[in-house]
Amino acid sequence: MKVNVYSTDLRAYDIQRFDIRLGVEVRVELENPEPNIDWFSNFDSVLMVADVNDDNKRTIKATRVGSSVVKIMAGDTVRKTFEIVVYDESTETVDLSMENIRLK
């Protein structure tokens, strides 16, 4: 079974981890899934996972900075896991100020 991720700007195949910017939404699909699988993501505040009327697909939105592990389960057995790391671009900016600049 493979986990693929899609958005308007992205197609990623057989992922184990991906980083996503806060507020962005993607579609996650399982390729060649086993029957009777369940998605488990701890219902944490980092992600909003929505069912799209298909056991093999979910819409995932990044709602808070942090990381989450999603598990694909068949009964009590974990069949696949992948990690999603949510980042906020604003934390990656640098504020610079300059004083006493002399041109030579």
- Tell me what pLDDT residue 61 has: 95
Give me the count of residues in the chain.
104
Half-sphere exposure of 89 (CA within 13 A, CB side): 4
**Cα dihedral across residues 90, 91, 92, 96: positive or negative:** positive
Q: What pLDDT is recorded for position 74?
A: 92
Residue whose pair of structure tokens reads 């696949």 in the numeric block: 80
- Bridge partner list, 47: 62
pLDDT digits (tens, 9 = 90+) for 26-67: 999 999 998 889 998 866 789 999 888 888 999 999 999 999
pLDDT in tens, 85-103: 999 986 555 555 556 556 6
Which of the listed CATH numbers 2.60.40.1080, 2.60.40.1930, 1.20.140.10, 1.10.3720.10 matches domain 2-91? 2.60.40.1080
